Structure 1
Amino acid sequence: MNPVMRPVARRLPPFAVVEHTGRRSGKAYRNPVQAYRTDRGWVIALVYGKDADWVRNVLAAGGGQLIRRGRHHRLTEPRRLHGSAGRRLLPRWSRAAMGLARVQDYIEVTSVEAPGE
């Protein structure tokens, strides 16, 4: 599904693309995600679970990059949230959907728009 979603995810909110570096391979990766704006940066729903490789890579590297609506955002200070601690950061309209999808884990990150992107 990732190759199909990647082009759409860059332009159609709440979808976005997280760029990250493999913690073992050093290779660059891109994964479509559901990302929601917060006062601090972004909260990303971990729809594939908290142990997905991209999640472990972002946590190990201390961040990555998010592309949404053609804009690049540097992600720093990732922290994993569970249950209502993450869900309360979502817009109201998506809280129910995440509950129905049984999404329990999230990553909150600090973000700044990358210059020149």
Structure 2
Amino acid sequence: MYKYDQYDQAIVDARVDEFRDQVERRLSGQLTEDQFKPLRLMNGLYLQLHAYMLRVAIPYGTLDSRQMRMLGSIARDYDRGYGHFTTRQNLQFNWIKLADTPDILAKLATVEMHAIQTSGNCIRN
């Protein structure tokens, strides 16, 4: 199982802070959807018909118990009580509110998880 070192954690924490600012600018109207789209995709966030979908990376397809508990907590608190595992070793939450996304990413970071490079033109898992 992949474990974060201090550099990994610093990168993920910085990305969460950066995205929190980007979401605040989008919600305040300082960014248009066209300007925001590449920023949200870099953070695993898709805009679907009725809600946002967040795709969470599961490095090497393995989870420990604290990560599973965090995913369950996020599903209960921010989605409809469940998520969907994908064929690309990710988990998707399909009913996410944009304003909640930075908090979700911050919670994921506490258990060495993120949504970086889970969408767009990138190599995935």
**TM category, shorter:** 0.3 to 0.5
More helix by share: 2
Q: Which has the higher contact order (CA 8 A, sep 6+)?
A: 2
